[in-house]
Amino acid sequence: MIRVLCVGTATDVGKTWVGAAVLEGLRGRGLNVVARKPVQSFDPAEPGPTDADVLAAATGEHPDDVCPGHRWYPMAMAPPIAASLLERDGFLVADLAGELTWGDVDLVWIETVGGPRSPMADDGDSADLARWVLPDLVLLVADAGLGTINAVRLAATPFAGRLVVVVLNRYDEGNDIHRTNAVFLVRDGFDLVVNVDDLVDRLEHFTAESP
């Protein structure tokens, strides 16, 4: 069993979309996968599913299995800030990590919130969560366009010493900016993936090699 921590360089880079596509792909290859989002905040007036709903649809789970019902905060702000403004109890990274459970599976996909330094709890962020869940792999999802090189360099820093794979979402081989960004990141030494199928291949192989 492997643990994958999915982190974005920022909000709205598509990490939930990437997660759903990858998890569906792995399920299609016969792997037993689950998704976990320790906490989520959202705009209740915005139509469409929450991140937990999307990930649950991809894995065949119930949304409350993906994100515990008491960790849904209907306010579009960082979860601990939303909790405070909603006059709900505060919580720590240890609380979120302690609520994560799963059975005998091949892969656990743990999605964080916002960027790596976005608050996840009163005392920490995605990098702090990583110290609790001990992921085998950190997937850093970034947009492929302008600003990506800077965003990836900054966002990868808190995960120094861990195995990090960068996913360029919305990548278009015919786009000069996207292609140049990819070249620079590879030159910087980043392990880079630019499409979901390749990422599914990588994770399937990684899972097969896991003890």
Name the helix (H) or strand (E) containing 69: none
In this structure, what token pair is assigned to residue 77? Answer: 């702000």
Span between the terminal Cα atoms of the chain, in Å: 7
Of the residues 3, 36, 37, 71, only one is catalytic, namely: 37
DSSP per residue, 132-191? HH--SEEEEEEESSTTHHHHHHHHHGGGTTS-EEEEEET--TT-HHHHHHHHHHHHTT-E
Distance CA 163, CA 190 (A): 10
Residue 15 annotated among the catalytic residues of the structure: no
Indicate the DSSP class of residue 76: S
Residues 74 and 115: beta-carbon distance below 8 Å: no
Please write the tens of the pLDDT for every residue from 70-108: 999 999 999 999 999 999 999 999 999 999 999 999 999
**Residue 74 CB coordination number (10 Å):** 13
In this structure, what token pair is assigned to residue 134? Answer: 């001990």
pLDDT averages per 10-residue partition of the chain, 211 residues: 97 95 97 98 93 98 98 97 98 98 96 96 97 97 97 97 97 97 97 96 92 73
User: What was the pLDDT predicted at 72?
Assistant: 98
